[in-house]
Amino acid sequence: MKLKAQTQAQLFIGIIILLIIVVTGTSLVFNIQNSRRQAEKTALESGRSFFMGIVSIRTWNAVHNGVYVILDGTIKPNPYLVDPRKDLVTTGGLKLTKINPAFMTRLVSDILKKEKSVEFHITSLKPLNPHNAPDAWEEKALARFNDGIPEVSQVIEGKDSLFRFMAPLVTEKPCLACHAKQGYKLGEIRGGISVTLPFEVYRDSVAESKKLLYLFHGLFIFFGVGFTIILGVLLVSSIKKLKGATSKIKTLSGLLPICSNCKKIRDTKGYWKQVEFYVEEHSGATFSHGICEECAEKLYGDKDWYKKSDTDENKDS
């Protein structure tokens, strides 16, 4: 069944509004997901930066074969460090203890955990220190390192969302001083360092982005749909006017019964009407009356009668 022009226009406007809502909604979902990915990417870069920073500190420590600090009560000797020169006493009577890379990692981690809620954990499948044993997540990451995966990261959902990052530690020459006895060789993966960050700060940035996304997309739908509705109303109004004009034209079209003598037209009710009355009734046209030259000559014997009549009227005035 063929739809009327007005119905077609309304259907077309409805389709446009639906497209605006669907496209805008799809854009909103995509941008929200993208903001989440960007937050995770930012957290990943932070995890990498912390990892590289602690690795640099460890390398510096290992190159210098450990560093000595004063035993002032805040630091205790590392019970897992086997070194004949682990504890020294200066000629002035100061007691010193050696801090190796692993112990330094834990000390730095304790400071960052208190101040920044960032935690490092050096771990291995064969740890010297039982406190460095991997948890379930770290154990899976270490297994993946052995399969050639360069790094592992994940957002851990829960009461306090966390972002975890871990990358492997490769055995280098300075590392062999402590780890050669465990059977590690140069270039082998001997463990890894995990970095744990609070994800809430990144989630807050996502929440702010979502507010802006909802606002901008909501405004786009509001103005887009509103503008479309206004155009639709104008279009339907124009169609109605055109339809009205067309209907008037149709009333004057087709076969009209007309008297061959008096030229009256018979309407649909069977009444005979003067042509001008019929046209005025079925259109917006109005008529003024005059007389043509042929009729003037026929009625008055002078085809220029109406011109003379006009001249006499002007003279009288």
Q: Which pTM was predicted?
A: 0.60
- Residues 199, 283: one domain? no
- Residues 271, 183: one domain? no
The Cα 121–Cα 36 span in angstroms is 26
Q: How confident is the model at residue 170 (pLDDT cuts 50, 70, 90)?
A: confident
- Residues 57, 169: one domain? yes
**Residue 165 included in any domain:** yes
Mean pLDDT score of the chain, rounded to an integer?
79
**Residue 212 included in any domain:** no
CB 162 within 8 A of CB 155: yes
Burial classification of residue 194, based on how many CB atoms lie within 10 Å of its CB (0-12 exposed, 13-18 middle, 19 or more buried):
buried
- Residues 310, 161: one domain? no
Domain boundary among 180, 206, 232: 206
Domain boundary among 171, 206, 241: 206
- Residues 48, 151: one domain? yes
Report the domain count for the chain: 2
Q: Is the pLDDT of residue 165 over 90?
A: yes
- Residues 294, 175: one domain? no
DSSP-assigned letters across all residues of the chain: -PPPHHHHHHHHHHHHHHHHHHHHHHHHHHHHHHHHHHHHHHHHHHHHHHHHHHHHHHHHHHHTT-EEEE-SSS----TT---TTSEEE-TT--EEEEE-HHHHHHHHHHHHHHHHS-EEEEE-SS-SSGGG---HHHHHHHHHHHTT---EEEEE-SSS-EEEEEEEEE--GGGHHHHGGGT--TT-EEEEEEEEEESHHHHHHHHHHHHHHHHHHHHHHHHHHHHHHHHHHHHHHHHHHHHHHHHHHHHT-S---B-TTT--EE-TTS-EE-HHHHHHHHSS--------HHHHHHHHS-TTHHHHHHHHHHHH-
- Residues 45, 135: one domain? yes
**Residue 51 included in any domain:** yes
**Residue 257 included in any domain:** no
- Residues 140, 44: one domain? yes
Q: What are the tokens at 120?
A: 């490092």
- Residues 127, 30: one domain? yes
Domain boundary among 169, 184, 206: 206
**Residue 53 included in any domain:** yes
**Residue 71 included in any domain:** no
**Residue 291 included in any domain:** yes
Q: What is the pLDDT of residues 248-264, one digit of tens each?
A: 555 555 566 777 777 77
Q: How confident is the model at residue 141 (pLDDT cuts 50, 70, 90)?
A: very high
The CATH number covering residue 116 comes to 3.30.450
Block residue for tokens 């008529």: 287
- Residues 201, 269: one domain? no
Q: What is the pLDDT of residues 194-252, one digit of tens each?
A: 999 888 877 777 778 888 888 988 898 888 888 888 888 888 787 777 766 666 555 55
**Residue 284 included in any domain:** yes
- Residues 195, 273: one domain? no
Q: What is the pLDDT of residues 67-121, one digit of tens each?
A: 898 888 788 888 888 788 888 888 888 889 998 888 888 888 888 887 778 888 8
- Residues 200, 311: one domain? no
Range of the domain at 28: 5-63+100-206
Q: What are the tokens at 155?
A: 């957002």
